[in-house]
Structure 1
């Protein structure tokens, strides 16, 4: 198990908390949660509920965005985005991938999520987008 968190930010900031699990790792920053799921897992409400509960424990009621850093290949149950829509302080989801097929899959997933959703090729741009969401600076959220 990797006990040293990856460097997500150029400024060297470290996560406030890291949650390691069988399906992947979740990195908690101030208003950003970065997920990195393991190769070959199936991410769904059933497999991810424990991580969602951990998220609520560490984020509380403050607004936040989630960045799914897709460094591995795994499957997602897109119809389960309806459960994430019910989290009132989750303001948006960004997918980070450098793979064209994964980006196309993420765009398909966006059809199942009515809040802000975007696809990027770097964590940095995804974080900038997320901050704009939290600041209320974006009007076109999809």
Structure 2
């Protein structure tokens, strides 16, 4: 891990190729939170591709409109949801419709990290 950052809505762990975000319990993820992600992309991943992993250890809601804005971040090339308790497949499918970049659900954080690394590797070929 390169750095741990505290956000209004949770905590982010910055790695070489991605950020892992742990959202606070009970929040609603709103489109305006993309401002933070844009700042992170410019500070830690400037001029190179990166991935976003949300580790859903807490219960929270997501306004799917957030993904329309998230998809517009130029160097964001993959988005992963990790949930050990499992999400309803229908929830993931609805969220996926709003995302314009590769979007996957995983039950294991390490597998999600490897997936992000693999799409970055492919992107850089």
The interval holding the TM-score normalised by the smaller chain is 0.7 to 0.9
Of 40, 43, 46 in structure 2, the residue corresponding to residue 60 of structure 1 is: 46
Q: Of the two, which has the highest radius of gyration?
A: 1
Q: Mark the runs of 5 or more structure 1 residues left unpaired by the alignment.
A: 1-14, 138-142
Aligned equivalent of 2:94, options 87, 108, 124: 108
Residue 34 (str. 1) matches residue 20 (str. 2): yes
Whether 1:71 and 2:57 are equivalent positions in the alignment is: yes
* 1:47, distance to aligned residue in structure 2 (A): 3.6
Match of 2:3 in 1: 17
Matched, 1:44 2:16: no
* Partner deviation per Cα, 1:110-135 (whole Å, 9 max, x = no partner): 11102100000011110111111111
Q: Could you tell me how far apart the structure 2 residues matched to 1:121 and 1:56 are?
A: 29
Structure 2 residue aligned with 1:120, among 85, 106, 111?
106
TM-score normalized by the length of structure 1: 0.78
After superposition, the C-alpha distances for 1:23-53 in whole angstroms (9 at most, x for unaligned) are 1001110011100000001111224423431
Q: Which runs of 5+ in 2 are unaligned?
A: none
- 1 or 2 for the larger relative contact order (CA 8 Å, sep ≥6)? 2
Query: Displacement of 1:108 after TM fit?
Result: 1.8
Aligned residues: 123
Task: Tell me, yes or no, if structure 1 residue 86 matches structure 2 residue 45.
Answer: no
